[in-house]
Amino acid sequence: MIRKKIFSDLGLSIKVLEAINKKGFEEPTAIQAVTIPVMLRDDSNIIAQAQTGTGKTAAFGLPLIEMVNTDSRTVQALILVPTRELAIQVSEEINSLKGDKDIKIVPIYGGQAIDQQLRRLKKGVHIVVGSPGRVIDHLRRKTLKLGKIEHLILDEADEMLNMGFIEDMETIMKHTNPDKRTLLFSATIPGRIKALAHKYMDGYELLTVKNEQLTTDLTEQIYFEVKAPDRFEALCRIIDIEDDFYGLVFCRTKSDVDSVVTHLTDRGYDAEAIHGDISQPQRERILEKFKKKRVNILIATDVASRGIDVNDLTHVINYSLPHDPESYVHRIGRTGRAGKEGTAITFITPSEYKRLMFIQRMAKTDIKKSKVPMVKDIIEAKKKKICDDLTAVLEKEIDTNYYNWAKKLLEHNDSTKILAATLKYCFEEELNSGAYGEIKEVGGKGKQLDQQGKARLFVALGRKDNINARKLVELIMSKVPVKSKHINDIQVMDKFSFITVPFNDAEKIVVSFKEKGQRSLISHAKKRTDNKGPQRTRGAHR
């Protein structure tokens, strides 16, 4: 039997290994195991093919931490990513792995005040994580100098290609030190990525790992949109409507975990908590109780949950939306195991809708919207469970003491009234609808918007029309007075594209692009009936 690699096999220093251990990582993923030793050799360019959710950030982040010279204040590595969400995620992940090494990492992306970025760059940084548009802005301003970088990392390269950033990537590469190492990470390696590598990488080592299904088909993935104060009420309803709930609930912070557990136990639920302040012996006792189902609800933070291996969970609930696609994949991977079906539920507030869609796109999965169970449905579900339990008791032999007791009660009372009184006595508290709080509706009714007052538009132009994300934004701005930062979620396909804009701007854009006697070049994207997002509007043409 071949021994699995551990982090200490990969050539990392003791300090970095300590930081990894504190983070809670136990063994490297496949892409980490093959990439880290090659990066540490520092003698070749790399193309690494790996999916989102396989630990790519640590695969290049850990060697960078080892190789950065903290005595210098010049930019030594540029990590190029397609979106601002990913820029923040990658920056935070590397920061969490650096331990006590004094490495300065700064994310730069559109939508954030450029003055703040200028101040941080002026102080001197070692690693810049940036989206292509904002990196080019800084290059033009001469506030970012890449002439001395030692490493250029292109993360999610195929996603940048799909978003029309290929020209921006080439522009940036021309400003970099010709002797740098280039590391390209991509889920797929299409022809244009190979052409880019051939043009700008003087030979490279190709690293691939076997593709794994990141999210199992046995896991149903849904999300509920609720206001932040209503999340706890929604959690209680989900637990109560299930026949036999056995789940793991993820919170972002230790204080959130403690708060949720306290409120659950106050309501009579069997719940326990694990987070960084729980001692190891206590953690082991709690996990043992959970695995033996002496408690059916475990509330945890991401770090504390590492190492939890339970095959028959019915639910994983994201009480707080995870920061990034990798965390989402790791969380929900704990249900739908061993051939058993499971449900992954994510709570989002209206302002988090865009981040959830980013996670969905990067994890290449389908998260369907659903409604929080109504109180009347929960009460009916509980009644059905009580009926099933009573039927099961009736099928067994009943002690004569209960028969004699029943006959005595029936001597002077109506049988239906006696049964009703018994049910009330036993289940009044459990079937009390007043125990549930109100959950207010969010979003408008009957409007074809996402839940932030935005509309999805279809554009009858694509890559075959020489359109990329930047050109599409410039085209729209040339006809409609809309700010570029309000045009989001741009998807450029071969023959058409999609954009998301504020609802108030959507109609102006559609009207402005309508030619006399023809359909508009831009139109509202129709909702798909299969819950897979918007589809192109039939008949739209140039």
All structural domains of the chain with their residue ranges: 7-208, 219-373, 382-435, 454-535
CATH of domain 454-535: 3.30.70
**What is the mean predicted confidence (pLDDT) over 154-165?**
84
Q: Are strands 454-459 and 522-524 parallel, antiparallel or unpaired?
A: antiparallel
The pTM of this model reads 0.55
* Helix orientation angle between 132-141 and 114-123, rounded to the nearest 10 degrees: 70
Per-residue model confidence (pLDDT) at position 215: 55
Do the domains 7-208 and 219-373 sit in the same CATH topology, yes or no? yes
CA-to-CA distance for 86 and 91, rounded, in angstroms? 8
- 333-386 per-position pLDDT tens digit: 777 655 567 899 999 998 888 889 888 887 778 899 999 999 999 999 999 999
* Helix orientation angle between 166-174 and 191-200, rounded to the nearest 10 degrees: 10
Tokens of 448: 């074809």
In sequence order, what are the residues at sequence separation of 6 or more whose Cβ sits closer than 8 angstroms to the Cβ of residue 185?
Answer: 48, 50, 56, 59, 60, 153, 154, 155, 156, 157
Fold for domain 7-208? Rossmann fold (3.40.50)
Which has more pLDDT, 542 or 13?
13
CA-to-CA distance for 313 and 46, rounded, in angstroms? 39
Burial of 53-72, coded b for 16+ CB within 10 Å and e otherwise, reads bbbbbbbbbbbbbbbbeeee
Residue with tokens 């935070």: 92
Mean pLDDT across the chain, nearest whole number? 84
Residue 453 confidence (pLDDT) above 60:
no
Per-residue model confidence (pLDDT) at position 305: 67
Fold for domain 219-373? Rossmann fold (3.40.50)
Residue 534 confidence (pLDDT) above 50:
no
Residue 148 confidence (pLDDT) above 70:
yes
Residue 143 confidence (pLDDT) above 80:
yes
